Amino acid sequence: MSKEELAKIESNDTEDVLLVSDEIAVKVDHVSILFNLNKEGVDSFKEYMIKLLKRQLHYDEFWALTDVSFELKKGERLGIMGLNGAGKSTLLKTIAGVLKPYEGSVTVKGVIAPLLELGAGFDGQYTGKENIFLYGSVMGYSREFIASKYDEIVAFSELKKFIDVPLKNYSSGMKARLGFAIATAVEPEVLILDEVLSVGDAKFRAKSEKKVRSMFDKGVTVLFVSHSVEQVKSICNKAILLEHGKIIAKGTTEEVCAIYEEKTSKTLEAQMKDAVKDLNKIKNKIAKINKTAAETGEQFSAKVVKDVQVKVDDINKELGKAQPAEEGEKE
């Protein structure tokens, strides 16, 4: 038997006990994902074959992931962070088996519950009840298993009154709640979360987080993608930071979150500088307009300057949120 170690993770309102085994649950070994981006559309298989034979197919190569490697022991919880387009969701889909690595390999031991694009397999013409069985089969569950969990799924989703209504009449939040309830009906050994704790209203978000945390008590291994630093610190004990498909930082959640916040702050600063440049350019143009058309120019200038200034102010507000913490550290 493998030795077990206990590690405690402090969160704002609860204290989690992290059960970690020496057994490797997830191994990502030098994984790279390559996408071919077509420069022109192909409407049929016949057209595709003709262009292929004539060597008229042109596309650009895009590396969504490049040489990504890490290991997770059974019971560990990994936060995956990065700006939009960094490759976070692509990495989770690769681990879940949705995408096949172009290079490298992924090894996962145990039952996987991938909470990725909730409701991606739903059909709008079917009722909520029919979609429970449809979505369950898409996720690989047997009809017997879904039938045994049906009442639990309906109760958790809080959609009993609407369960016989066609899904096309559901709101996006209702669809996400139903998808979350189905996906979490299984008892997984590896749980994959792609920003799903932000679905629904505040009440349902708290309920879904409680549901996920109840799985932690059984020593489930977690891969969690989120832009929320607070959630990553609360749920995970380690993290990686992706940028343009490459891991640029790995370590404890505190270490990686600090780097992520620094990069986010720099991105906002760059956006603010660009917005200020745009504002100054527009002011110069307006000054020229005012010379030739005073009446129309004044009305035009006031509106345009105000619109751009609002954007600059919004970015300044975002930057201001991080400044007090930095000043406090200096003191």
pLDDT digits (tens, 9 = 90+) for 83-95: 888 999 899 999 9
Residue 65 forms part of a structural domain: no
Give yes or no: residues 9 and 84 share one domain: yes
Considering the domain boundaries, does residue 48 fall inside one? no
> From the centroid of its chain, how far is CA 152?
26
Same domain, 21 and 129: yes
Are 147 and 235 found together in one domain?
A: yes
Mean pLDDT score, 228-233: 87
Determine the residue type at 253.
Answer: T
Q: Residue 101: is its pLDDT beyond 90?
A: yes
Residue 46 inside a domain? The answer is no
Q: Please, which pLDDT band fits residue 4 given cuts at 50, 70 and 90?
A: very low
Number of domains in the chain: 2
Q: Which carries the bigger pLDDT value, residue 106 or residue 211?
A: 106
Asked whether the predicted pLDDT for residue 291 surpasses 70, the reply is no
Same domain? 173 vs 308: no
Q: Are residues 144 and 207 in the same domain?
A: yes
Ramachandran quadrant class, 119 (left: phi over 0; alpha: psi -120 to 50; beta: rest): left
Give the Cα separation of 201 and 226 in Å (integer): 17
Average pLDDT of the residues of the chain: 79
Q: Specify whether 175 is located in the same domain as 228.
A: yes
The CATH number of residue 131's host domain is 3.40.50.300
Same domain, 267 and 188: no
**Interstrand relation of 77-81 and 238-243 (parallel, antiparallel or unpaired):** parallel
Per-residue pLDDT averaged across 217-246, rounded? 89
- pLDDT-based confidence at residue 316 (cuts at 50, 70, 90): low
155 and 215 housed in the same domain: yes
Least confident span in 64-78, 172-186, 192-206: 192-206
Task: List the domain range (segments joined by +) for residue 86.
Answer: 4-28+70-253
The verdict on residue 47 lying in a domain is no
